[in-house]
Structure 1
Amino acid sequence: MAKLKSKYLKPLKNIYVLVLIVFVTWMLFFDAHSWIFHHELNSDIEELEYQKNHYKSEMAKDNKAIKELSTEEGIERTARETYYMKKPNEDIYIIEYQDSIAKEKQDE
């Protein structure tokens, strides 16, 4: 058994192997540019890239809405559909379907 232990411990007696092990351990865990630090930074970069894509898509939606509201017809349509506004001489009838009423009650 002692021969088996010395077989595995023999490379550790070499100073170059010891220095290499210490160096690799230091670089992986303790250094300012360690593998753990880089891993955390890479995960932060991925999260920021996701947010960047999300905000770009939101900007595209907003630009589309701005373009739609820049015309007189777009403003009128948005006012009628969203805010139920009407001209002075007309009536608005809101038609609700049976399935949409049931969903609203379940949501509350």
Structure 2
Amino acid sequence: MKKTASILTNKYLLASGFFVVWMLFFDQRDFFEQRGKKAELRKLEQQKQFYLREIEKANKELVDLQSNPAALEKFARERYLMKKDGEDIFVIEDSAAVTK
């Protein structure tokens, strides 16, 4: 019993325990804050990768539009509903897309 009491009242053990509790719960950069920041960092890195892929796709499309007249015509017809003389264009909207 005395040995257990002397271990629990050991000043180094008490100081170490206080330090661990302080760093886990009360410090400005506590464990839970750091875990949240790491999760946010992972999410931002995923967004960065997504936008880099989108930029790469847009650059490929730009090069294709600048070098291929057929692709330019297709782009103009799909995006801006351009048409040739004497043509009629019918736009069909998806009802699920309209309600969103």
Tell me if both proteins adopt one fold, taking TM over 0.5 as the criterion: yes
Coordinate RMSD, CA, aligned: 3.0
% identical equivalent positions: 33
CA contact 2:8–2:14 (8 Å) conserved in 1: yes
Count of equivalent residues: 96
Is 1:28–2:56 an aligned residue pair?
Answer: no
- CA distance change for structure 1 residues 26 and 106 in 2, over 3 Å: closer, same or farther? closer
1:66 is aligned to: 62
- Structural mapping, 1:58-97, within 5 Å: 58-71=54-67, 72-87=69-84, 90-94=85-89
Superposed displacement of residue 33, structure 1 = 3.8
| Greater radius of gyration (CA) | 1
Structure 1 unaligned spans of 5+: 1-5
Query: Where does structure 2 lack aligned partners over 5 or more consecutive residues?
Result: none
The one-letter code matched in structure 1 to 2:43 is E
TM-score, with normalisation over the residues of structure 2? Answer: 0.69
Which letter does structure 2 place at the counterpart of 1:104? S
